[in-house]
Structures are given as C-alpha cells and as structure tokens.
C-alpha cells in the first residue's frame, strides 16, 4: 500500500475538518485502532457505547486517504440494513468533507489519488446483500443470476418440494420425524400440522448451511436414525428443486457465494478487493466465518473485525459467539503465519455513570459466566458522560394493569407535563423531556416479547399482557404507540377487514373456499376475515362516492366492470389490494398500519414466485378462472390465516417522534434512547414452570438442544460444547439483558411485578441479578428475627 497522507496527519485533519471531532477527538484506544497497521489483522473488542461504528468508518477512510486504496476496494459488512445505512451515511458525510478539504490543501501525490476517489463507492451492506449483489453483477459469463427467495416463499417451497413426499405424506407427519423434532420446538411438543412442521424444520435446514453440517454424518448419528434419513432426503430434494430453477434461500445464498469463491469463480470481485471490515462479528456463524477467512486468504486483504462477546444475541440464527472469542487463534489456524492483534474499546460515550455502573455490575454478577467471555477479560467499561443525577429506577406493582397505568402516567408527565421528580444520591432530580424537541420517540419499552396477548390455552381466550395494557392507557391519553409486532397479523382488525374484502371480491360467499381441502383452523380464520369485512362494510366507510366499499366488492365479485367496458382477462391480486386501500385509511396513513400492509403485499408478491397463476386472477379462461382463485386461496390467504407471514418493521425508516415504541431487546440491538424502560418481570406472579425459560431456565433452550444434537456432525460443535447446553441457555439471557441495560443514554427504568422483589421470593430471574447457583445479591443477610418483606439490597430507586 502506498501512503498518500502521512498517518500522523490523519486525526489532526479529522479534527480540523469534521466539527464533531474538533471537540471530541478519538480517544487513545480509538486512535490506536485507526492507526493500527493496515496489513496486520485487527480484532476490536468494543463495549457498549464505545464508538465501534465510528472507529470502523474512520479506519475505512484512513485506508483511502493514508494507504491509497479506492473506496470500491473496501468491503464493510454489518448485521442489519439499518446499521449498514448508518455506516454508509457516515462514510459519505465524513468522506466528502475530508476529500474536499484535502483536494484543496493536500500534496500533489494526494491530489492525484483523490482525483480517482468517489466516496459513494464503498462496498457496504449486510453479508447477505453483498453476496446477492456479487452473484448477480459479477458472475462468470456461464453463471446465471440467482433468484433470492425470502422467508415465506422459501418456506412454501420447502414444504411442497422438500417435506412433502419425504417427512410429510397424506396430511401426516412421519411419527419418527415428529418425535425427533419435538426436541427443537418451543414447548417440546411434536409438530402436528404443516405450519408447525415448517416453523420447526426451517431452523434445522438453515443450520445445515450455517453450521456446515456433514449430512452423511448427520444421517448416521445413533439416535432417531429414520427421522434423520427422511429429513436429509427432504433437504436434498428442496435444494435440488431450488437449484433446478436457479433459486436460493438466504442460507443457500451464502453457501453458494462461498462455493463460487472457493472455486475461483468470483475473481472479478476478489481481484479488486483490498480491505474487509466486519461489524457485529460476535453474531457470525461458521459459514460466514469461512467466507471472511476465504476473502482474506484470496485477497491478502486488510482485515478488521469489531464486536462484543457480551452482546451476542443471535444464537437462534446460527451465531457462534466462540468464533469471535477465539478469533485470533482461529484465523492463525486457517491462515498459517497470521498474527492478528486485539484492541479493546471500553470508554462509554452513551450512558450516564449510574447506568454504566449498573450494567457493569450485571455482566460481572455471575461467576459462572466469566469463562464464556473473551480471554483475557476486557477492561471494565468506563463512563465518559457526566452524571445527570438520576439513579437507575424501578417500578414494580401488584398487577400488570396497575403497572401500565402508572407507567403511562410517568410517560405523560415526562413528555406532556412538567416532568417527574425522583430521588437521586445528591437529592431530588427532575426527569423531563428535552426542551429542544423532546417527545415520546425518545423513550422505548424493551422486553423479551412485545406480544400484547398471551396465547389462549384449552379454549380460553388470549390474556392481555403489559404491552396491551400500556397501549390502552397511552391511547386513553391520546398518545400514539408503535408496536407492529404486538399481535399476529391475522388478529389485527384492519387486516382482517382488508383480507375479508379481498376474499369476497375473489370468491363471493366462499363458494370456492368451501370446496377446497384446507385445514379446519384455516377455514375458520378465513371465515373470520369475511365476517370482519361484513361488519366493517355495514358501517358504510368513506369514501361513498362515486361508489362505496360494498358496491365495489359486489361488482368485483360478479366481475362487473365499473369504469371500463370489459373485465380484463387477468387482474393482479396486488392491484386489487391497493384499490381497496381507499376504504382503509389506517393501513395507508398510520405507521403501524403501513408495516402491516407491507406484510400482506409482500405475501402477495412473493407468492408469484411459486404459485402457478403468479398472483393473478383470471377471467374468461374457462376452468382456469376457478383454479386461479383456488391458487390465491391456497398460496396467499391460507398462509395469512395460518400466521406464516411475519411483519418487517425495518421498512419504516423512522418512527414519528410523537409515538411511543415497544420492541423486543433483539430489535433494539445497536440502538440507543434517552429513556429506556425494560420489562423484566411483568409476566411473573409466581414461579410457574412455563415461564422459567424467560427468567431462570431449568432446561436447555430448544436452540441449545439443536446445537448439541448437531455437534458431532459439524466442526464448530466441540467449540460450543465447551459450555453445557444449560450454561449456554443462561448465558444467552445474560447477554440479552446486558444489551437492554446498555441502551439508555440518561434514564434506565426496570419494571415488573412486586412478587419478584420479595425477600423470600421463589421467582428467580437472571434479569434481577439471580445467579445460576441460586444466590441473589439483592437479598442481603438481615439482623432482625423476621425477614424483611422486600429485598433489602435492591440497587434501584423504586418509584
């Protein structure tokens, strides 16, 4: 690499050109990362709020300005599209400022280099998006461009082309397969229908790719031999069918990329690559590690990985935290002679000292967790922001309803009133909104689950949970909520009404539906949709001119044109959906509604990739008219009725500031908010065995069980099994709540039910600092004869 800007001039130039760095230059550890030799692989262990994204971006810019690389020679990958957008935004914003300044003030050598630099050309994105782009654009002349199938379409083809005829015949799941899969279901019950079968098999099939499973060895393992043989056959049939049509699911996309990379079929890509920088490396799986190592090996690239073993959350997607923990040894083994270096970032620029102290004490709380962390241990995280006086808070009540009412009152006081005063160590402290535009968008509720209802059991209706009660309380105060995952798509009234209207347009009175072989539950939900539409249409929703909703649906059902001379021979079902939106304003205009509508429209468009009539309804084509309707019912509306379609809230680039968001802790990874409310115990009134998996597991998770089952058939199995399945299950919960506790900037509030804080409580909970050995530091020894009613060493200011 050729130096064009002296390395020692890079950070002074940053400070001179970019206002942010004039007052807040990189700290010594960040500077060390930026200055680290480009040709020596670097592992950055970055604690929460320590500026890892900043360091990654600055290191990429340094490679351009100091080492003479071009942006198109530098690959930066991260875990989510939002994180990729943030990295790209910073690269462009800071890159333009630096390039413009240096074009005016740099040396002649530097100016000649900058004449070739276009900061828009950095290669950024998730690894999946990079793989897809490369396989499409830079393939060999003999390679065809792949068609990437998203979840719903891939699962449908997996069912029809892989599972049917192997593990599923005549409407029945092979008993051996059902028994084997019971170990991998959430409640350890065998799948009983297609929907449950698909949801259970998909993670297993993805593991075949992510864990680079030896399928022959998997088939011959000692237990469940018949089931393994059938599943292997089903997987191979599925893969063969996809490849016959040049299709790939996400797991096979990365595998195909690695296969072509290893076979020197992506030389047009690798020949120009000079640097690889990877964000969130702690959530890498074995297949992805193999891709990164192969890129490094083939390109002799500058290699930097950034992550935090304590923030690894995606084991259920195949992530193996040990790959990050042991990165330097693994790289040296894969590429002999390589000596990667490690730098720790431990200065926190996000949170107040009170919050940093709290999450430090949490991550260090259980001695049994320490061997699962990086060695040597990273330094204790240090706060760099000044205290605002607010302690870490706790709000615990006897019932979820009361908790929701008091929480809504607090939020209303903070964002619509004069604030709320709490007691800090130095005296009373007022928690108020930012006077410069502070609003509900500055707060978030994080939880293990944001479902607004618990599932019904034995015919009992679903029971509302804290998110439901809190929504009701906030709405009663005219405060909007954003929680698009709060209910299953099929249970949302607007969606029921819209789908019901579409069903009546396509199949009036359910004539075709009645004659089809659909599951009873599916037919019941389709009928629920139709009834929801009928009730809504009876209200005569606007607009009513030139025609109303009922008139439109009736005309459509009888195929009578209202604005054209003749009915078209083909009508896209997606177009029908959008025409109906005139009568569904929430789905058009409300952020939650838009997310829900996107899920429906995505199901329609994805079905076109496998449905024989391509999401079209025909007219004037004889028997094909009815068959096209049958196809729509089977391929679009039955999956919606069976809850096989997930919402994707990432389509919403920014939630309106006047909305209070609720999200799972997994969704909050990488985000930060001034006020973070963490639900640690709103579901726990007693020590019920069915909720222990969320607080203090007494058996390994289904994910850890699957890892152990596959261990002897993959290279990473023994690495994972250095910790038992139950230990890994505990560790996943510790990491989950560590991420939650490190999201806030100014205020952290834990909420739950009072029974969890009683001194003699039997409700053990990792989130409230219970250790795996059953000890609880919040309950200190007492001197009186009678034990205290509540835990006597709670490190929270209870409000």
| Binding-site entries for ATP | 46-53
Question: Phi first, then psi: what are they for 276, rounded to 5°?
Answer: -130, 125
CA nearest to 396, candidates 660, 681, 793, 665: 681
Rg (CA), the chain: 28
Binding site residue list: 46-53
Look up residue 563 and give its two tokens. 């604005």
What SS3 state is found at 608? coil
CB 74 within 8 A of CB 122: yes
C-alpha neighbours within 13 Å on the C-beta side of residue 605: 10
Angle value at C-alpha 122, between 120 and 126, nearest 5 degrees:
120
CB 758 within 8 A of CB 686: no
Look up residue 372 and give its two tokens. 């699962």
- Cα 709 from Cα 221, distance rounded (Å): 9
What SS3 state is found at 759? coil
- Compute CA distances 759 → 675, 754, 762, 773, whole Å: 28, 11, 9, 17
Angle value at C-alpha 600, between 596 and 601, nearest 5 degrees:
115
Question: CB neighbours (10 Å) of residue 293?
Answer: 19
Residue 672 buriedness (CB in 10 A; 0-12 / 13-18 / 19+)? middle
What SS3 state is found at 438? coil
Look up residue 707 and give its two tokens. 């890892």
- Cα 223 from Cα 102, distance rounded (Å): 66
- Going through 462-531 in order, the beta strands assigned E by DSSP cover 463-464, 480-482
- Cα 704 from Cα 319, distance rounded (Å): 12
Q: Which residues contact 8 (CB under 8 A, 6 or more apart)?
A: none
Look up residue 738 and give its two tokens. 């560590």
- Cα 33 from Cα 26, distance rounded (Å): 10
Question: Omega of the bond prior to 376 within 30 degrees of 0, cis?
Answer: yes
- Cα 684 from Cα 764, distance rounded (Å): 10
DSSP 377-421: PPPPPEE-SPP-SPPPEEEEESSHHHHHHHHHHHHHHHHHSS-EE
- Cα 719 from Cα 411, distance rounded (Å): 46
Find tokens 């100014």 and name the residue. Answer: 746
CA nearest to 382, candidates 733, 736, 51: 51
- Cα 123 from Cα 686, distance rounded (Å): 51
Find tokens 């967790």 and name the residue. Answer: 369
Burial 482-508 (b: 16+ CB within 10 A, else e): bbbbbbbbbebebbbbbbbbbbbbbbb
- Cα 499 from Cα 376, distance rounded (Å): 56
- Cα 661 from Cα 649, distance rounded (Å): 11
CB 233 within 8 A of CB 203: no
Beta bridge partners of 74: 275
CB 367 within 8 A of CB 742: no
Beta bridge partners of 153: none
CA nearest to 498, candidates 609, 586, 608: 586
């Amino acid at each position: 690499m050729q130096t064009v800007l002296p390395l020692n001039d890079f950070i002074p130039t940053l400070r001179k050109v970019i206002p942010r760095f004039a007052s807040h230059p990189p700290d010594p550890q960040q500077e060390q990362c930026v200055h680290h030799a480009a040709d020596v692989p670097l592992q950055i262990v970055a604690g929460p709020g320590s500026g890892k994204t900043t360091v990654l971006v600055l290191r990429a810019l340094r490679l351009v300005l100091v080492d003479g690389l071009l942006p198109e020679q530098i690959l930066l990958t991260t875990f989510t599209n939002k994180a990729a957008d943030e990295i790209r935004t910073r690269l462009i914003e800071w890159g333009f400022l630096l390039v413009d300044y240096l074009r005016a003030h740099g040396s002649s050598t530097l100016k000649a280099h900058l004449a070739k630099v276009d900061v828009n050309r950095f290669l950024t994105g998730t690894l999946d998006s990079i793989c897809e782009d490369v396989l499409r654009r830079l393939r060999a002349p003999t390679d065809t461009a792949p068609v990437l199938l998203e979840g719903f379409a891939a699962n449908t083809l997996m069912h029809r082309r892989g599972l049917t005829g192997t593990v599923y015949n005549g409407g029945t799941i092979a008993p051996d397969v059902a028994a084997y899969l019971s170990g991998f279901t959430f409640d350890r019950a065998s799948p009983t229908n297609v929907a449950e079968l698909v949801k259970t098999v998909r993670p297993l099939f993805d593991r075949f790719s992510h864990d680079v499973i030896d399928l022959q060895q998997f088939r011959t393992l000692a237990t469940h031999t018949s089931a393994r043989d059938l599943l292997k056959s089903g997987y191979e049939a599925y893969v063969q069918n996809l490849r016959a049509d040049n299709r790939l699911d996400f797991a096979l996309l990365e595998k195909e990329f690695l296969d072509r990379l290893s076979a020197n079929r992506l030389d047009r890509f690798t020949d120009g690559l000079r640097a690889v920088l990877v964000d969130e490396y702690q959530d890498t799986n074995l297949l992805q590690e193999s891709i990164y190592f192969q890129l490094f090996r083939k390109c002799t690239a500058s290699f930097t990985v950034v992550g935090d073993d304590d923030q690894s959350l995606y084991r259920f997607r195949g992530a193996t935290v040990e790959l990050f923990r042991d990165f330097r040894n693994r790289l040296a083994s894969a590429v002999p002679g390589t000596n990667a270096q490690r730098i720790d970032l431990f200065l926190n620029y996000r949170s107040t000292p009170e919050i940093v102290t709290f999450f430090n004490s949490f991550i260090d709380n259980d001695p049994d967790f320490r061997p699962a962390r990086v060695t040597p241990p990273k330094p204790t995280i240090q706060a760099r922001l000044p205290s605002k006086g607010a302690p870490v808070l706790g709000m615990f009540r006897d019932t979820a309803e009361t908790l929701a009412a008091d929480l809504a009152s607090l939020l209303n006081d903070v964002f619509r009133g004069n604030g709320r005063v709490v007691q800090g160590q130095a005296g009373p402290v007022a928690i108020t909104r930012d006077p410069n535009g502070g609003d509900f968008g500055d707060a978030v509720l994080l939880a293990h689950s944001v479902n607004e209802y618990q599932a019904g059991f034995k015919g009992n209706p679903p029971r509302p949970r804290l998110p439901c009660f809190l929504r009701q309380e906030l709405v009663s105060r005219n405060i909007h909520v954003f929680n698009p995952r709060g209910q299953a798509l099929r249970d949302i009234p607007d969606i029921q009404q819209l789908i019901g209207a579409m069903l009546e347009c396509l199949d009036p009175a359910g004539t075709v539906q009645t004659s089809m072989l659909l599951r009873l539950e599916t037919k019941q939900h389709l009928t629920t949709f139709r009834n929801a539409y009928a009730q809504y249409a009876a209200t005569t929703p606007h607009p009513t001119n030139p025609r109303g909703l009922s008139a439109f649906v009736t005309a459509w059902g009888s195929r009578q044109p209202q604005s054209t001379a003749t009915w078209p021979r083909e009508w896209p079902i997606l177009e029908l959906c959008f025409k109906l939106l005139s009568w569904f304003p929430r789905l058009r205009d409300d952020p939650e509604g838009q997310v829900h509508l996107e899920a429906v429209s995505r199901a329609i468009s994805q079905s076109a990739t496998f449905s024989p009539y391509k999401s079209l309804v025909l007219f004037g084509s004889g028997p094909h008219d009815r068959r096209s309707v049958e196809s729509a019912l089977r391929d679009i509306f039955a999956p919606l009725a069976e809850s096989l379609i997930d919402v994707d809230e990432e389509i919403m680039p920014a939630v309106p500031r006047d909305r209070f968001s609720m999200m799972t802790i997994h969704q909050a990874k990488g985000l930060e908010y001034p006020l973070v409310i963490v639900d640690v115990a709103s579901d726990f009134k007693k020590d019920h065995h069915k909720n222990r998996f969320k607080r203090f597991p007494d058996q390994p998770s289904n994910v850890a069980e699957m890892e152990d089952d596959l261990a002897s058939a993959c290279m990473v199995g023994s690495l994972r099994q250095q910790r038992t399945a139950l230990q890994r299950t505990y560790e996943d919960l510790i990491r989950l709540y560590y991420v939650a506790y490190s999201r806030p900037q100014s205020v952290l509030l834990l909420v739950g039910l009072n029974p969890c804080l009683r001194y003699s409580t039997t409700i053990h909970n990792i989130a409230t600092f219970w250790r795996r050995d059953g000890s609880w530091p919040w309950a200190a020894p007492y001197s009186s004869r009678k034990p205290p009613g509540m835990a006597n060493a709670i490190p929270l200011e209870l409000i």
